Amino acid sequence: MNSSRFLGLGVAAVLLVVLVLLPALAIVGFYTFANVYALITGSDFSSATLNPAVFLIGLVVTVAAIVVVMAAAVGLIGRSMSPKRQHDEDASLFGADLEDAEVPEP
């Protein structure tokens, strides 16, 4: 087995772990938001102090943040896995000579 296969298996394992932990991350993130919101508003443990709009917007922002972080992580992993191109090697594959450029005269 070559190293790219191990790298692919490693990325697959990390992706599986992130997807399995995603519900737990959403719960922990929203719980943190709800606690900070309760500390700021000075809740007295009654439903009269709860603003439903802020509560639902916090839920949406928490889930959206997790999705954005996961997309950024996939982008960074994908960028690191893509092969590096070298300009001279690509040109030599097609038989182009970059040193002696000849322009045909009309």
In-domain check, residue 66: yes
49-86 confidence digits (pLDDT tens): 778 888 899 889 988 888 888 788 777 777 766 666 65
**Radius of gyration in angstroms for the set of CA atoms belonging to the chain, rounded to a whole number:** 26
Domain of 60, in residue numbers:
22-82
In-domain check, residue 14: no
Predicted TM-score of the model (pTM): 0.55
pLDDT of residue 5: 77
Six-digit token string for 39: 């500390």
Report the domain count for the chain: 1
In-domain check, residue 16: no
DSSP classification of residue 98: S
Instruction: Report d(CA 50, CA 43) in Å as an integer.
Output: 8
